[in-house]
């Protein structure tokens, strides 16, 4: 049996449930995929495909795992909005007391739309903040600016002086630590565009502390995304801790350490581990790596998880339009495309794919390419993937699509983007309706 057909229980988010035969409690050899207490097939019929579906229970569970792992130290979880910026998701997190990490003025506006009070727990990151964005963040009263260059430092000073508002800041330092991840999402080496070299930090902090309307408040670091080994986090925080001691000896008040995000998930595994006790254990190991070097520093730790919170909470439902054979190759052409989920094309990323209707007893499998309708050879979700035999019209679920899925979606080929649905136990609520083709060209002419 293929790994893709061994989806056990991704509790509390996604699981298979046996189809009952009549009124008898006997188990069937066939089972249906559910998101919490709602069937995937029912969602697809009600809202059509392609369709993003998210589990509220999974998001809550994973947030709670972070809160427990860091409970012994002052901390704020600043969810990374870029992972999934839907207002429905942000509202769910805000109700749990979550803060936010934003990298654009647009993301800040989303946070303020959800809860203006959340600004006080929001950090603003990113290498290219404009003065317009800085002024908006100053007026909102955000917690911290993560400054990434000397030029940005002076731009922030200018904006703060114009508004006569104090700008709390941390310098994002580049520790030159290699994180074993995809080169596009590695950010902690000197060859990358992010942050300032650790060796330049003391000079820049001295400049900032002598500037009216700038307030030195912390140190920030982020070495990349989708990191599954905690060792790079420990090495990074050791360098940050050494810098904090130096800065305090220089007379700076360092209240915050922003440890960034980057904790990854196992996209290859489609069994129970994504939401089983192994995830809290992973977060605990991450917490130990981050906090170990910070002992006795008495700082408030800021954390920026994104993918690890929402990726396993989401699937992309898609229906098989055609089966096609070219020589020895078998293709499943589905109604979702690279414009809906670009990660496989952009990063050669692996996403588990499972049928919404599963045959429990050793189903026949085949090696297929799962491809979309977009006019690009790069429009694929899987290549040479062993999957159970499916027919035209069958429903598939592309797993772990809750992060960097809809936020990276486009209208390429004039394709409307999918609807998004948030499931909470037995309820399913549309948190973004499906676009219409007319909406795509409304502003043209």
**Residues designated catalytic:** 375
3-state secondary structure of 373: coil
Task: Say if CB 164 and CB 214 are below 8 A apart.
Answer: no
Q: How many helices (H) and strands (E) does the chain have?
A: 12, 23
Distances (CA, A) of 436 to 18, 203, 375, 416, 433: 36, 53, 20, 6, 9
Q: Which of 101, 85, 10, 122 is nearest to 403 (CA)?
A: 85
Tokens 């969810």 sit at which residue?
A: 79
3-state secondary structure of 319: strand
- The dihedral over CA atoms of 321, 325, 330, 331, expressed in degrees to the nearest 10, equals -30
Q: Which of 56, 58, 14 is nearest to 35 (CA)?
A: 14
Q: Which of 217, 244, 226 is nearest to 188 (CA)?
A: 226
3-state secondary structure of 356: coil
Q: Which of 194, 192, 110 is nearest to 147 (CA)?
A: 194
Tokens 């809809």 sit at which residue?
A: 406
Task: Say if CB 207 and CB 243 are below 8 A apart.
Answer: no
Asked if omega into 12 is within 30° of 0 (cis), the reply is yes
Contacts of 285 (CB under 8 A, 6+ apart): 230
Beta strand segments in 84-242, E? 99-102, 122-124, 144-147, 167-174, 196-197, 214-220
CB atoms within 10 A of CB 377: 8
């Amino acid at each position: 049996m293929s790994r893709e057909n061994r989806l056990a229980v991704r509790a509390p988010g996604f699981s298979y449930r046996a189809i009952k035969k009549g009124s008898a409690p006997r188990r069937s050899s066939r089972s249906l995929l559910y998101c919490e207490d709602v069937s995937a097939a029912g969602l697809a019929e009600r809202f059509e495909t392609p369709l993003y579906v998210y589990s509220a229970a999974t998001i809550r569970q994973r947030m709670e795992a972070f809160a427990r792992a860091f409970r012994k130290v002052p901390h704020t979880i600043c969810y990374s909005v870029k992972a999934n910026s839907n207002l429905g998701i942000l509202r769910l997190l805000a109700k749990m007391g979550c803060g936010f990490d934003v990298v654009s003025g647009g993301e800040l506006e989303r946070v303020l739309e959800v809860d203006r009070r959340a600004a006080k727990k929001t950090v603003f990151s990113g290498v290219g903040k404009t003065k317009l964005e800085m002024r908006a963040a100053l007026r909102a009263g955000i917690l911290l600016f993560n400054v990434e260059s000397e030029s940005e430092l002076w731009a922030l000073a200018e904006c703060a002086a114009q508004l006569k508002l104090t700008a709390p800041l941390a310098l994002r330092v580049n520790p030159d630590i290699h994180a074993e991840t995809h080169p596009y999402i590695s950010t902690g080496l000197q060859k990358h565009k992010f942050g300032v070299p650790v060796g330049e930090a003391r000079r820049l902090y001295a400049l900032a502390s002598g500037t009216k309307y700038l307030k030195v408040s912390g140190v920030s670091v982020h070495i990349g995304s989708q990191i599954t080994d905690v060792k790079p986090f420990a090495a990074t925080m050791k360098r940050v801790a050494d810098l904090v001691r130096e800065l305090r000896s220089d007379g700076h008040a360092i209240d915050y350490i922003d440890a960034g995000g980057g904790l990854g998930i196992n996209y290859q595994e489609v069994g129970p581990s994504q939401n089983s006790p192994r995830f809290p254990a992973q977060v605990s190991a991450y917490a130990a790596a981050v906090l170990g070097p910070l002992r006795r520093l008495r700082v408030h730790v800021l954390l920026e998880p994104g993918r690890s919170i929402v990726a396993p909470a989401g699937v992309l439902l898609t229906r098989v339009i055609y089966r096609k054979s070219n020589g020895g190759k078998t293709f499943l052409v589905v109604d979702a495309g690279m414009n809906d989920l670009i990660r496989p094309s952009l990063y050669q990323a692996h996403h588990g794919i499972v049928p919404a209707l599963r045959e429990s007893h050793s189903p026949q499998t085949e090696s297929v390419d799962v491809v979309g309708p977009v006019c690009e050879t790069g429009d694929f979700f899987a290549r040479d993937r062993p999957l159970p035999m499916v027919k035209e019209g069958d429903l598939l679920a592309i797993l772990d699509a809750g992060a960097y899925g809809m936020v990276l979606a486009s209208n390429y080929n004039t394709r409307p983007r999918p609807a998004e649905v948030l499931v909470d136990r037995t309820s399913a609520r549309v948190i973004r309706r499906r676009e219409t083709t007319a909406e795509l060209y409304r502003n043209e002419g």
